[in-house]
């Protein structure tokens, strides 16, 4: 079992470009969570998805950010028109069921906006 796979590990984008971050959950996991870690801060919840459904996006910035988890394929976190303040580490986690403490995290994607 390869665990939660995130790619790319590092992503550099110029201001105004789009960033697409991918997350493949562990085999058998149908719940995906995205967290963001800004410099010098802890991880903060962004969004919780199940297959084809956004369950809770209360932590997502209201503009430029979107997430999806299609029936087939990885979960995608998309950031449009990136700005310097979007530079952060983005972590994905998955679990087999809700209210399962057993989050399994990926290694994260470090986004740098230049």
Nearer CB in complex with another protein: 28/42: 42
Question: Using CB under 8 A as the criterion, which residues of the chain lie in contact with another protein when the complex forms?
Answer: 3-4, 31, 33, 35, 40-45, 48, 56, 91, 93, 95, 98-99, 101-103, 105-108
Q: How far is the CB of 31 from another protein (least distance, A)?
A: 8
Q: How far is the CB of 114 from another protein (least distance, A)?
A: 22
Residues 6+ apart with CB under 8 A from 55: 48, 49
HEC readout, 13-48:
ECCCCCEEEEEECCCCCCEEEEEEECCCCCEEEEEE
Q: How far is the CB of 100 from another protein (least distance, A)?
A: 8
């Amino acid at each position: 079992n390869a665990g939660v796979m995130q790619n790319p590990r590092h992503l550099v984008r110029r201001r105004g470009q789009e960033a697409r971050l991918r997350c493949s959950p562990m085999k058998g996991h149908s719940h995906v969570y995205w967290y963001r870690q800004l410099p010098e801060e802890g991880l903060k919840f962004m969004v919780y998805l199940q297959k084809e459904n956004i369950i809770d996006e209360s932590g997502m910035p209201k503009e430029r950010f979107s997430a999806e988890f299609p029936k087939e394929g990885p979960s995608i976190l998309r950031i449009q028109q990136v700005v310097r303040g979007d530079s952060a580490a983005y972590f994905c986690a998955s679990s087999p069921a809700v209210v399962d403490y057993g989050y399994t995290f990926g290694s994260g994607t470090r986004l740098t906006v230049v």
